[in-house]
């Protein structure tokens, strides 16, 4: 199966585990291509397609490839989506909204129409699928700016992506739902630390993070060379990346993710089993027949 992801940082992370999962199953082959720009929205994808039509040399994307038959990452090169669609035949093309706009359905159109029509024009045999994104970790500063919490962000994401799927007729890859299921069944609640408590940490100690599959805390030097505790509260961590890949495996191939044999070396089998179960529940909730 040849898959093209027209996406951003919420899609490219699939490449870390999905090819190995496919290989471990033995019954399928995956050739995965990512067209990546960090934070790229449907509007920007649409505008870049229009620019590439006028200037074929326009190359704002990083294009990466993986192959389940050879688990090395096959290069990173500049490119554009139009060139990929014109030059290759894909079985599946995935699209998604940028995470910062994913909860607001009004940001999907009219831009989605441009992207979808381009895919249909140059890859008419491709199945278009939508990746449902996820809500941020509860301590993301963006949530405070938007004046709602992580739970409300997820509810709005569900409404937006369900509306998008209903309007297009495309199948959803329920990554965000799987994240929500993990949060409800893991038996832990992520604790949001005050600025004072975060400031009390000393290198190399880190705050507890096992309660969520989103986000990570890390140390980095500031402009004066002093180590400061930083955080990423929006991207999948290594647990989330495995969970996402399990969801994609079930979505793409119709296989039960609970039967996945591959487990990353940095996680125990008990944790992997729970994550695979969350992936299965998300797919089952969205009507996937596995």
Q: Is the pLDDT of residue 86 over 80?
A: yes
- Higher model confidence: residue 110 or residue 73? 110
| pLDDT computed for residue 219 by the predictor | 98
- Please, which pLDDT band fits residue 74 given cuts at 50, 70 and 90? confident
Q: Which two tokens stand for residue 112?
A: 């989605």
Q: Which residues contact 252 (CB under 8 A, 6 or more apart)?
A: 1, 3, 30, 92, 129
* Coil, helix or strand at residue 142: helix
What average pLDDT does the chain have?
97
Q: Is the pLDDT of residue 194 over 80?
A: yes
The rounded distance, in Å, linking the Cα atoms of 201 and 4 is 42
Q: Where are the domains of the chain?
A: 2-186+236-285
The rounded distance, in Å, linking the Cα atoms of 229 and 222 is 10
Q: What is the mean pLDDT of residues 270-283?
A: 98
pLDDT in tens, 118-160: 999 999 999 999 999 999 999 999 999 999 999 999 999 999 9
- Please, which pLDDT band fits residue 229 given cuts at 50, 70 and 90? very high
**Cβ(218)–Cβ(157) under 8 Å?**
no
DSSP track, 6-19: EE-HHHHGGGGTHH
Q: What is the mean pLDDT of residues 215-227?
A: 96
What residues form DSSP beta bridges with 228? 220
**Cβ(74)–Cβ(32) under 8 Å?**
no
| pLDDT computed for residue 220 by the predictor | 97
Percent of the chain with pLDDT over 70: 100
Q: Is the pLDDT of residue 75 over 90?
A: no
Residue closest to 216 by CA, chosen among 226, 206, 204, 225: 206
Q: Is the pLDDT of residue 225 over 80?
A: yes
What residues form DSSP beta bridges with 2? 31
Percent of the chain with pLDDT over 90: 98
What residues form DSSP beta bridges with 92? 3, 127
Strand order in the sheet with 127-131: 76-79, 61-67, 31-36, 2-7, 92-95, 127-131, 171-173
Q: Is the pLDDT of residue 177 over 90?
A: yes
Q: Is the pLDDT of residue 73 over 80?
A: no
Q: Is the pLDDT of residue 72 over 90?
A: no
Q: Which two tokens stand for residue 196?
A: 């004072």
Q: Is the pLDDT of residue 223 over 90?
A: yes
In this structure, whether the domain defined by 2-186+236-285 belongs to CATH 3.30.2010.10 is answered with: no
pTM: 0.97
């Amino acid at each position: 199966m040849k898959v093209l992801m027209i996406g951003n940082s919420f899609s490219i992370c699939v490449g870390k585990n999905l090819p190995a999962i496919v290989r471990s199953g033995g019954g399928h082959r995956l050739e995965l291509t990512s067209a990546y720009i960090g934070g790229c929205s449907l509007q920007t994808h649409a505008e870049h397609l229009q620019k590439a039509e006028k200037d074929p040399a326009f190359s704002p994307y990083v294009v990466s490839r993986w192959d389940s038959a050879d688990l090395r990452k096959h290069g990173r090169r500049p490119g554009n989506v139009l060139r990929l669609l014109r030059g290759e035949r894909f079985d599946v093309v995935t699209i998604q909204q940028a995470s910062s706009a994913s909860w607001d359905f009004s940001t999907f159109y009219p831009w989605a129409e441009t992207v979808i029509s381009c895919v249909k024009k140059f890859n008419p045999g491709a199945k278009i699928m939508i990746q449902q994104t996820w809500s941020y970790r509860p301590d993301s500063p963006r949530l405070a700016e938007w004046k709602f919490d992580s739970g409300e962000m997820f509810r709005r994401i569900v409404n937006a992506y369900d509306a998008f799927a209903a309007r297009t007729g495309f199948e959803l890859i329920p990554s965000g739902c799987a994240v929500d299921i993990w949060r409800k069944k893991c038996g832990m609640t992520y604790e949001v630390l005050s600025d004072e408590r975060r400031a009390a940490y000393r290198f190399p100690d880190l705050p507890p993070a096992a309660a969520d599959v989103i986000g990570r805390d890390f140390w980095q030097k500031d402009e004066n060379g002093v180590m400061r505790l930083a955080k990423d509260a929006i991207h999948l961590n290594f647990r989330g990346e495995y969970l996402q890949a399990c969801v994609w495996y079930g979505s793409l191939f119709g296989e039960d993710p609970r039967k996945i044999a591959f487990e990353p070396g940095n996680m125990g089998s008990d944790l992997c089993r729970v994550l695979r179960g969350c992936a299965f529940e998300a797919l089952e909730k969205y009507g996937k027949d596995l």
